[in-house]
Amino acid sequence: MGKKKSNTPAESFLLLPTPPSTLAIVDTHTHLASTFEAYRGKYKEGKVENVYEFVRHMYEGRNVEAIVDVWCEAPVRGLWKTFADSALTKEDREKLWAGMDYCLEAMAHPRCVGWGEMGLDYHYDNSPRDIQREVFTRQLRQAVRLGKPLTIHTREADADTERILKAEVPVDHKIHIHCFTDSPEFAQRLLDHFPNLCIGITGVITYSSNTDTSTVIRNMAAQSQGPLRIVLETDAPYMVPANLYDSLEGMKGKLPICHTAMVPWTAAFVAGVAGEGWDAERVMREARQNARGVYGV
User: Which residues 6+ apart lie within 8 Å of 45 measured at CB?
Assistant: none
d(CA 25, CA 288) in angstroms, rounded, equals: 7
Nearest to 27 by CA among 178, 269, 233: 233
d(CA 138, CA 164) in angstroms, rounded, equals: 11
Between the CA of residue 95 and those of 54, 56, 164, 190, what are the distances in Å? 13, 10, 43, 41
| Rg for the chain, CA atoms, rounded | 19
H runs (alpha helix) in 147-211: 158-168, 184-193
Distance of CA 263 to the CA centre of its chain: 9
Encoded amino acid at 226, one letter: G
Which of left, alpha, beta for 93 (phi over 0: left; psi -120 to 50: alpha)? alpha
pLDDT (tens place) for every residue of the chain, 297 residues total: 455 567 899 999 999 999 999 999 999 999 999 999 999 999 999 999 999 999 999 998 999 999 999 987 655 566 767 877 888 888 988 888 878 877 656 666 778 899 989 999 999 999 999 999 999 999 999 899 889 999 999 999 999 999 999 999 999 999 999 999 999 999 999 999 999 999 999 999 999 999 999 999 999 999 977 899 999 999 999 999 999 999 999 999 999 999 999 999 999 999 999 999 999 999 999 999 999 999 999
* pTM as predicted: 0.90
Encoded amino acid at 157, one letter: A
